Amino acid sequence: MPFKRFSRRQFGKIAGWSALGTSVLPAGSGLAQSDADTAARNRKPLPGFPSDFLWGTATSAYQIEGSVHEDGRGPSIWDRFAEKPGAIADNSNGDIATDHYRLYKQDIQLMKTLGAKAYRFSIAWPRIFPDGAGAPNPEGLDFYNHLVDELLANGIQPFATLYHWDLPQTLQDRFGGWTSRDTSKAFADYAAHVTARLSDRVKHFFTINECSRLVHLGHEYGADAPGLKLSPSDVKQVRHNVALGHGLAVQAIRANGQAGIKVGPAENAVSCIPAVETPANIRAAELATRELNAGYLTVMLEGKYTDAYLAQAGKAGPKYTAEDLRIISSPIDFVGLNVYMPDHYVVAADNERGFTLAPFPKSFPHMKATWLRPGPETMYWVPRHVAKLWNVKSIYITENGTSGSDQPAADGTIYDVDRIMYLRNYLTQLQRATSEGVPVHGYFLWSLMDNFEWSDGYQERFGLYHVDFETQRRTPKLSASFYRETIARNAVA
């Protein structure tokens, strides 16, 4: 069919330009172009985020701290994994990373410059218990005592993640790590110890970061530490042990923390987006969300595995008791969600599951990292599904961001407009969610600064601040101004 050509005027009408009055000055209005520019600058911003919305940045211990031999820290599975030839794309490791262990005060000033009022960091288990269990190492805890004090002194609320993948190597050697529920129990003991000492100042704790990635990439595909490629039934048992670790930690945190502290997971829920926003597709996307997160958020929030999950697993299903399920579903105060991309576009279907997952066309775009397919609407649908399916009353976006090539231009500035484009679109969708009453209470941008991006080493830069890994110099990228402006306006800049 021949392409119907529109005149510019017709197209403007279709696109609504004349209604918005932005492209054409009314004839005879006498409004000069510069006045129009000023008017545009002063126009009322879109409705903002809730007035108590919390803006923050996020990092994790192994990705930024370095100083892996300081103050009695024991080895973690990532130290060991990074020694394997070929495990890390650039053969690097987290030995130095961004030297945050020594530069943390300076890094807190970077947060302050952004106007951020919250910071999500993780605590390195091998610093607190160098052997995973047994005798604690007070010097390891001291670092986090200082970090928390410095954050509070600068008006920044600390949000602590207890497990961001750096399992003490001893637990891997002794029990096979998460293949054994002994690790789930050791995790609860470590959580209890930390909460008892930090909860006078830290009021929000995340249990485990991205259960599903640590299960799949760490234990099924071997791409993350500990680099295992287990059988389907062993993978399901690991998944169960990780969920159990989450539940035991929730209980330990409540039992050992001060009154009023809040706890929840930080999960990268499998994201299911209605391909076209019809009531039937929206319902199908909800069904898909519940099924495809069966071993993670669904069991944590419902206290049971879905029938379809158990039926599909058959004999390879996890071994567990009714008591395990009660522990896993211990009440939580909020759900943390790491939101990066759409995992599935969903269409309603007249089949047993009630949905079809649309295949991604080859032409679907990606950001610098080929796995990161941008789909800003993910930021609307994931929290909306979670709030609706499980009646969750409080949600934090615990991560969102993108890597970029981040090359300085001739004038030295890093014009990372791809990151700004990505953030602007995702935040617009988040604003859509909060304005409709989806209870998202805060947002932590990943990441404050470039860091060790796991098996990609230092080749993927996710930071608002560029880090020169030779000199440890931090330089704000243009996206840092975008984020600062957004925080200042409490609306998308």
- In this complex, which beta carbon is closest to ligand NOJ, that of residue 208 or of residue 261? 208
- In this complex, which beta carbon is closest to ligand NOJ, that of residue 63 or of residue 281? 63
Residue 159 binds ligand NOJ (CB under 6 A): no
| Near ligand NOJ by CB under 6 A: residue from 159, 175, 462, 465 | 462
- In this complex, which beta carbon is closest to ligand NOJ, that of residue 415 or of residue 458? 458
Nearest to 395 by CA among 447, 342, 445, 332: 332
CA dihedral 311, 312, 317, 322 (to 10 degrees): -40
From the list 267, 377, 399, 460, the catalytic residue is 399
- In this complex, which beta carbon is closest to ligand NOJ, that of residue 209 or of residue 356? 209
The CA-atom distances, in angstroms, between 127 and each of 21, 167, 321, 343 are 60, 10, 33, 35
Least distance CB 366 / ligand NOJ (angstroms) = 13
| Near ligand NOJ by CB under 6 A: residue from 79, 131, 166, 399 | 399
Round to whole Å and give the CA distance between 468 and 455: 19
Residue 453 binds ligand NOJ (CB under 6 A): yes
Least distance CB 425 / ligand NOJ (angstroms) = 18
- Clarify whether 352 is annotated catalytic: no
Least distance CB 164 / ligand NOJ (angstroms) = 6
3-state secondary structure 130-183: CCCCCCCCHHHHHHHHHHHHHHHHCCCEEEEEEECCCCEHHHHHHHCHHHCHHH
Round to whole Å and give the CA distance between 316 and 379: 34
Least distance CB 297 / ligand NOJ (angstroms) = 16
| Near ligand NOJ by CB under 6 A: residue from 209, 241, 431, 479 | 209
Name the CA radius of gyration of the chain, rounded: 24
x/- letters, 313..352, toward ligand NOJ (CB under 6 A): -------------------------x--------------
- Clarify whether 470 is annotated catalytic: no
Least distance CB 461 / ligand NOJ (angstroms) = 11
Nearest to 429 by CA among 60, 46, 35: 46
- In this complex, which beta carbon is closest to ligand NOJ, that of residue 462 or of residue 482? 462
Contact in structure between 56 and 444 (CB atoms under 8 Å): yes
| Near ligand NOJ by CB under 6 A: residue from 65, 131, 166, 210 | 210
From the list 210, 286, 377, 453, the catalytic residue is 210
Residue 450 binds ligand NOJ (CB under 6 A): no
Least distance CB 93 / ligand NOJ (angstroms) = 15
Chain positions 44 to 63 lying near ligand NOJ, rule: CB under 6 A, are 60, 63
Chain positions 165 to 184 lying near ligand NOJ, rule: CB under 6 A, are none
The count of chain residues that interact with ligand NOJ, using the rule CB under 6 A, is 9
Q: Which strands, in side-by-side order, build the sheet including 272-274?
A: 272-274, 344-348, 355-358
CA 150 to chain centre: 24
Least distance CB 146 / ligand NOJ (angstroms) = 23
Round to whole Å and give the CA distance between 67 and 78: 14
* Sequence-distant (≥ 6) Cβ neighbours of residue 385 within 8 angstroms: 269, 272, 285, 286, 289
Contact in structure between 186 and 177 (CB atoms under 8 Å): no
Contact in structure between 458 and 397 (CB atoms under 8 Å): no
- In this complex, which beta carbon is closest to ligand NOJ, that of residue 131 or of residue 453? 453
Nearest to 238 by CA among 172, 161, 314: 172
- In this complex, which beta carbon is closest to ligand NOJ, that of residue 76 or of residue 209? 209
Residues within the interface to ligand NOJ (CB under 6 A): 60, 63, 209-210, 338, 399, 446, 453, 462
Active site residues: 210, 399
